[in-house]
Amino acid sequence: MKHLQRDSTFVVGVIGLTWFISGYGHSANRLPSAVDTKAQEETSWIFRLPATEPQSSASARIPEPLAQAPIEMQRLAWLVGTWRADEKCEDTGPLVCRGSRSRRESVEVGRDGLSLVSAYEIQAREGALTGHQVIDYDPKTHGYTISGSDKGVQSSSWSAKGDWDSEALSFQGTMEKSGHPLQMKLLFYDIRSDSFMLILYLGEKPSDLEPVLTARYARLQTTEPAAKQP
Residue 9, C-beta contacts closer than 8 angstroms, at least 6 positions apart:
none
Phi-psi region of 137 (alpha: psi -120 to 50; beta: other; left: phi over 0): beta
| Confidence bin at 209 (pLDDT 50/70/90) | very high
CB 76 within 8 A of CB 135: yes
Residue 188, C-beta contacts closer than 8 angstroms, at least 6 positions apart:
79, 168, 169, 170, 196, 197, 198
Any idea of the CA torsion for 187, 191, 195, 199, to the nearest 10 degrees? -10
| pLDDT reading at 211 higher than 50 | yes
CB 118 within 8 A of CB 109: no
Residue boundaries of the structural domains of the chain = 2-227
What is this structure's pTM?
0.72
CATH of 2-227, one of 3.40.50.11860, 2.60.40.1180, 3.30.2040.10, 2.40.128.20: 2.40.128.20
Which of 126-130, 146-150, 193-197, 219-223 is predicted least confidently?
Answer: 219-223
> Which of 42-46, 149-153, 169-173, 190-194 is predicted most confidently?
169-173
